[in-house]
Structure 1
Amino acid sequence: MTSVPAHDPGMLTTGIRVGLLDGFRLCVGQRSAPVPLAAQRLVALLALWDRDVARCEVSGTLWPEANQAQANGCLRTALWRLRRTERTLVIATPTHLGLCPAVRTDTDETIAYARRLLEPADRCDGHPLHPQPLLGVLLPGWYDDWVVFERERLRQLTLHALESLADRLLDAGRFGTATDAAYGAIRADPLRESAHRTLIRVHLAEGNAHEALRTYRSYVDLLQRELGIGPSMQLTSLIRPVLPREPRHSGACQPAGPADARLMYARSI
């Protein structure tokens, strides 16, 4: 592949940042720069793919329904409009395009933070342990195939990172922030059992058996309602020590109500 040449540092505008989480943004220094939609899509693709990309691959991906000549024309127009906004953002050769290496992106920062959290030996020194950098959604409202793929890839990475962060915070005794991290994972995927297990472990470590039981029962109801299945043995084994003892009743058995049925189900697994 032909590499995009290194850019002249003297021509680079200082402090260019591309935001893709929770919507597209381009910031140059302290100002926000408006970018036409076609140019936004070009910048987003180059930022997410993070490599030198052949012009024909870019145009074919961004304008898949156009023929090659039309797609190439759309690409040239997008580049022209982008250069009117910030001419140093994209580096172009006759065959390839790439984002200027000095440009910062929030997705790169989130991915780097998530990967550090997933390395057990990495203490993440110099980075505050907080869930906020992991909570953004990649380009909401964009439904191009390449965006949907990257959105799901980032979502899966941040879900694992949020659970790892909650465990680290739990070990450090920071229960409130650990709860926030666990809820962040649940909000992103309400049916994700590992996120609920993480939240229940935090409640149990705090001594909040009631909260742990409430979280468990709420999740059991959700699973039954949405998927028609029960929780795993991992989850039931985690909660079993704090399940209330079933009272002994004399006389004839009475029919169980809905709440009693849920408790009996929890005890039986």
Structure 2
Amino acid sequence: MSQGATELSQPRRVPEVAIRLLGTFVLEVDRCPVALPTGAQRLVALLALRGRTGRSRVAGLLWPETEERRALANLRTGIWRVNKTAAGLVVCEHGVVGLGLSPVVDVDRLVARSRAVLGGQESPEPEPDLGTGELLPDWEDPWLDTERERLLQLHLHVLESTAARLAASGRYGMALEFALAALRVDALRESAHRAVIAIHLAEGNIAEVRRAYDACRRTLASELGIVPSPSTDALVAGLAPRALTG
């Protein structure tokens, strides 16, 4: 068999592709960063976050103020530019656009890790900063709003769930680290306030319970004009009223 025939019979090597979306957009091919124009970056990011999507939908999300014909032309150009840099990364079949080459996406890894923690399938060493990287913070694209909210809520649930698990095992100091981290992310989140109150109660620190409850009440009143919910009040229902009101 000739050398040319041997080369043709060998399977084509698939490059290793990694996409980073937490922080600055980075596309790596075989561990080397590659540059993409802004529009092409947004195409890759959208597909990495939403998966296979119809051509018209992709075009409408990326170029919402452009007529459909022009937006679809922009999409074709974007696909060509991406594949010129990383051949086969964007695939368009039967009117549906998606990512090929099975890229490793940091958001996917974060979501999988967070779900494992929430499901009790993974008990890592406590990491209060798990998931704190912001999703493409310098981008102002409206289609990112729901993706950011999804990651934010997942992050907060991981913090609260881990706080509860650590408190149940008697690791109150680390439990507070997670509960307070949730409050730093969203000071109006009443469930995070409840987590802090519950940990102080478990430790028997009534003075801390008072401060945490009063902080919750003041924050909700000043920012939202509401009072703590029955679930929060129930945590402290057995304490003397004076201990809570001063």
TM-score clears 0.5: yes
The answer (yes or no) to whether the contact 2:19–2:105 under 8 Å persists in 1 is yes
Equivalent in 177, 196, 221 of residue 193 of structure 2: 196
Question: How far did residue 197 of structure 1 move?
Answer: 0.7
Match of 1:123 among 121, 124, 128: 121
**2:229 is the counterpart of 1:232:** yes
The verdict on how the C-alpha distance between 1:213 and 1:17 changes in structure 2, with shifts beyond 3 A counting, is farther
Q: 2:89 touches 2:101 (CA, 8 Å); kept in 1?
A: no
Partner of 2:152: 155
Deviation per CA, 1:53-102, whole angstroms, max 9, x where unpaired? 22222112211211222112211222233234333432334633211262
Inter-CA distance 117–68: structure 2 relative to 1 (3 Å threshold): same
| Aligned AA (2:42) | R
The alpha-carbon distance between structure 1 residues 236 and 124, as it changes in their structure 2 partners (threshold 3 A), is same
Residue 175 of structure 1: how far off its partner (Å): 2.9
d(CA) in 2 for partners of 1:100 and 1:180?
A: 40
Q: Decide whether aligned partners of structure 1 residues 211 and 85 sit closer, same or farther in structure 2, where only a CA change above 3 A counts.
A: farther
The equivalent residue for 1:91 is 91
Aligned counterparts of 1:118 and 1:139: Cα–Cα separation in 2: 24
The one-letter amino acid of 2:142's match is D
Which runs of no fewer than 5 residues in structure 1 stay unpaired? 1-7, 247-261, 265-269
Superposition deviation, residue 129 in structure 1: 4.6
Which residue of 2 is the match for residue 69 of structure 1?
A: 69
Q: Which of 40-49 and 178-187 deviates more?
A: 178-187
Per-residue Cα deviation, 1:19-65 (whole angstroms, up to 9, x for no partner): 22234222334443333221121111111112x22222211221121
Contact 1:13/1:88, CA 8 A, preserved across alignment: no
Structure 2 residue matching 1:133: 3-state secondary structure: coil
Share of identical aligned residues, percent? 41
Range that drifts further, 80-89 or 41-50 = 80-89
Q: What's the RMSD between the two structures over aligned residues?
A: 2.8
**What amino acid sits opposite 1:12 in the alignment?**
V
- Which deviates more, 151-160 or 60-69? 151-160
Instruction: Give distance in 1, aligned partners of 2:61 and 2:191.
Output: 35
Q: Which runs of 5+ in 2 are unaligned?
A: 1-9
Name the TM-score, length of structure 2 as normaliser. 0.81
CA contact (8 A) 1:162 1:181 kept: yes
Secondary structure of 1:134's aligned partner: coil
Q: Paired residue for 2:112?
A: 112
Trace 1:1-269 onto structure 2 (pairs within 5 A): 10-14=12-16, 16-50=17-51, 52-93=52-93, 95-100=95-100, 102-119=102-119, 122-124=120-122, 127-241=124-238, 245=242, 263=245
Q: Distance in 2 between matches of 1:184 and 1:153?
A: 18
Q: Residue 18 of structure 1: CA displacement? A: 1.5
- Compute the TM-score of the two structures, normalised by the length of structure 1: 0.75
Contact 1:135-1:184 within 8 A present in 2 as well = no
Identify the range of structure 1 (31-40 vs 60-69) with the bigger mean alpha-carbon deviation.
31-40
Q: Distance in 1 between matches of 2:232 and 2:217?
A: 10
Aligned length: 237
Partner deviation per Cα, 1:231-255 (whole Å, 9 max, x = no partner): 1232233235556847xxxxxxxxx
Task: Point out 4+ residue stretches in structure 1 off by more than 4 angstroms.
Answer: 240-246
